[in-house]
Amino acid sequence: MLSIKNLNVRFKVNKNYIYAVNGIDLNINKRETVSIIGESGSGKSVTAYSLSGLLPQPPGEITQGEIIFENTNLLKLNNKTLNKIRGNDISIIFQNIDEVLNPNIKIGYQIAEPLLIHENISKKDALKKALDMLKKVDMPNPNETINFYPDQLSGGMKQRVMIAIALINNPKLLIADEPTTALDVTVQAEILELLKNLKEEYSMSVLFITHDLGVAYEISDKIAIMYAGEILETGNAEIITKEPLHPYTKSLIKCIPRINKNEKRLYSIEGSVSQITSPILGCCFYDRCPSRMDICKKQKPPVQSINNHIIKCHLYGDNYDR
């Protein structure tokens, strides 16, 4: 369905560059859910906006790579052709709902708008389909709610509206950019279950972006661990969460609170994701890695396939037994 090859993205800030995505490769098959996980600043959302054609250029710039969607390189398309795909074959659930929903337009029209753009349909028929979609996303009192404005809805209801907008044209690929971040645990579980059910109903692929490994485990077939613009480990969701190999993946898992452990202090990874302002010679996780070696600072780790993991780490080169 989708193949990202050696994608590189940078942003120009004054006279300098920030390297946000640095040579990532990722494949998503038909009807597969793939999650990209990492801390804030890892490049997850930049990746999503790059493949959906929503990266602001400038200051953003895709300097290298390919994004192949159904045998077509999206980076080679002009805006007119890309617009036929975006919002139709590829849809996105944005992270900041309140910045996306127009406060001055009723939600029924906002859901119907993609239909009016991409299909030859009347406004009356589009609104009817919008109502049907509100029912599919389990919106309370849809016949009444369709005439509400966004500020009349709760956070969970707004998220259901965003899902309805994204799915109204029956997309082949859905990009969900941290769709549950601002929701409480109960509503979060409802939204995740809804997305899983709709994925099956529409037979679509999903790229799910999150910083929560627990959420990714619940919804994903495959997980990609991203740090400082690079994907460090990829594999089956259960394998990644139960048998992690990369030190960064192991550290993320250690950060998850355990109800069966009496921990006085929660584990945290020392330091933070730093902005990459010049190409890195070695491993991007070197400064924070508890297992770092001299070679990690001087040389890029090789990409290897080990025990059903795709991993970038010197520990699994000549030092695999370590």
Tell which CATH classification among 3.40.50.620, 3.40.50.700, 3.40.50.300, 3.20.20.110 matches the domain 2-89+204-316. 3.40.50.300
Assess whether pLDDT exceeds 50 at residue 321: no
pTM: predicted TM-score of the whole model, two decimal places: 0.90
Q: How far is CA 16 from CA 21, 45, 230, 273, in A?
A: 16, 21, 20, 18
Mean pLDDT of 17-30: 94
Backbone phi, psi, residue 118, to 5°: -100, -15
Average pLDDT, integer, range 50-55: 88
Beta pairing, strands 2-13 & 16-28: antiparallel
Instruction: Give the model's confidence band at 317: pLDDT under 50 very low, under 70 low, under 90 confident, else very high.
Output: low
From 254-263, 289-298, 302-311, the region with the lowest mean pLDDT: 254-263
For the chain, the structural domain boundaries read 2-89+204-316
Percentage of residues of the chain with pLDDT beyond 90: 63
